[in-house]
Structure 1
């Protein structure tokens, strides 16, 4: 029985690129079930491609094959790889940092370089700019269709040698929690941080507490205000900010029925820092 094949790219759907990947995969085996993770990764944004894999992959059945193509170095000497995760999923992708969040948060148990003498679309050997179709969709489909095993992808690559993007771990001091804004909840403009709920609880913060939130981009302060830690968006009035626990069990920042990212022109990555400090309760007795 064929495995599921899930595609992610920065190609968009305004031309035939994604359709060509579908066609290659179905030509390998018309019984493959193909799904889209997203094709709206911002162009060349490897960081976001890495995070969207992490956001999604754990909710798919074991043995699902993911093809992730955000590849500004296409045609260069960067490796083409397939990795096996600790949760028994496979990711077919360039070795350019696209497995960063998976490696840190889930784990990679084995990696293999794609042997293009075997695992490449026939008669495509002189094409160097569409590996998403010629190498990744083709290899992913062959793996999903059980035409090749993981061992037949190609030679072993040391997992420790895989390219990773720089990450910063969240920290907790006596009264201050620091982290980064890793990604946006794009549709609604919420900020998703790398600060876990467990770290928040360790700081002794409870629902309903008031917190001072500061956001910096490198050395420039972008935002500073006091907001409530709520269970859901309805815990604040319309248009007010709040901290909440997102669907990955990390801290998020939102405006009730508004876009926090647009309101304050906030983006993502290791240069976007967030610090959270508990506001002391004032007693008037």
Structure 2
């Protein structure tokens, strides 16, 4: 019985790259159920690839196979791996930090390096720039369709050796909460932080409370203002900023029916800090 195959890349859909990956997968097994996670990861942005996997993977059935190809080191000595999570999902990807959030927030049970002598698209051995098609789509489809077992992917490696990017943790000190802007809710321009609802609630808060919110890029302050903590966007007026809990149970920052990110030119990652303190 075939598993689901879910594909994520930074390729976009304006040319035939993603379609070629589909073609390889269907050529392995025509009954495969193939889905797109996204193909709009910003080019070379490994951090965002890692986050989008974390955002999505828990909502898919056990044994789903994910392919993630954001691979600025394609053709180099970086490893190609398949990781098996503690929830029995599989991720086929370059070992370049794409598994950061999975490793630290979900857990990797075991991992294997892809043996390209067995798991590489036939007659593609002289191509070094499209491993998404030649290695990842081919291996992922073989695994999802049952042509190979996980053990046939290649030699086992220590899951602890999987490469992880620097991932700052949120914390509270003296009643002040410190965190990072992990990612954007791209369509709407909301900021998604790494501050969990549990940590935020340690400050003893209620809906309607006001907070002073400061956002900085390294040491440069980008934003500082007061805003209200609301249950939903309906708890604020049009154009007002608010704090809320997002769909991953972390704290978000938004403008009601506006893009916070565009309004204040805010981006994401380890250098983008947010500091929240209760007003008054």
- Counterpart position of 1:105: 105
Deviations 1:78-123 (A, max 9, x none): 0000000111100000000000011111110100000000000000
Q: What CA distance in whole angstroms lies between the structure 1 residues aligned with 2:202 and 2:210?
A: 16
- For residue 159 of structure 1, report the CA deviation from its aligned partner: 1.0
Query: Stretches of 4+ moved more than 4 A in 1?
Result: none
TM-score w.r.t. structure 1 length? 0.98
Partner SS state of residue 270, structure 2:
strand
1:87-126 aligned at under 5 Å gives the runs 87-126=87-126
- Counterpart position of 1:28: 28
- Counterpart position of 2:149: 149
Partner SS state of residue 120, structure 2:
coil
1:22-61 aligned at under 5 Å gives the runs 22-61=22-61
1:155-234 aligned at under 5 Å gives the runs 155-234=155-234
Q: What CA distance in whole angstroms lies between the structure 1 residues aligned with 2:77 and 2:175?
A: 47
- For residue 271 of structure 1, report the CA deviation from its aligned partner: 0.2
- For residue 248 of structure 1, report the CA deviation from its aligned partner: 0.1
- Counterpart position of 1:283: none
TM-score w.r.t. structure 2 length? 0.99
Q: What CA distance in whole angstroms lies between the structure 2 residues aligned with 1:124 and 1:81?
A: 18
Partner SS state of residue 183, structure 1:
strand
Residue correspondences, number: 280
Larger deviation: 171-180 or 215-224?
Answer: 171-180
Q: What CA distance in whole angstroms lies between the structure 2 residues aligned with 1:263 and 1:157?
A: 45
Provide the alpha-carbon RMSD of the alignment: 0.5
Q: What CA distance in whole angstroms lies between the structure 2 residues aligned with 1:35 and 1:153?
A: 22
Q: What CA distance in whole angstroms lies between the structure 2 residues aligned with 1:149 and 1:205?
A: 50
- Structure 2 residue 9 is matched with structure 1 residue 13: no
Q: What CA distance in whole angstroms lies between the structure 2 residues aligned with 1:150 and 1:202?
A: 42
- Structure 2 residue 95 is matched with structure 1 residue 74: no
- For residue 160 of structure 1, report the CA deviation from its aligned partner: 1.2
Gaps of 5+ in 2: none
Q: What CA distance in whole angstroms lies between the structure 1 residues aligned with 2:145 and 2:124?
A: 21
Q: What CA distance in whole angstroms lies between the structure 1 residues aligned with 2:208 and 2:124?
A: 59
Q: What CA distance in whole angstroms lies between the structure 1 residues aligned with 2:259 and 2:73?
A: 33
Deviations 1:100-147 (A, max 9, x none): 011111110100000000000000001000000000000000000000
Q: What CA distance in whole angstroms lies between the structure 1 residues aligned with 2:110 and 2:206?
A: 40
Deviations 1:178-224 (A, max 9, x none): 00000000000000000000001111122111000000000100000
- Counterpart position of 2:245: 245
Larger deviation: 146-155 or 200-209?
Answer: 200-209
Partner SS state of residue 270, structure 1:
coil
Q: What CA distance in whole angstroms lies between the structure 1 residues aligned with 2:27 and 2:7?
A: 16
- For residue 19 of structure 1, report the CA deviation from its aligned partner: 0.2
1:124-139 aligned at under 5 Å gives the runs 124-139=124-139
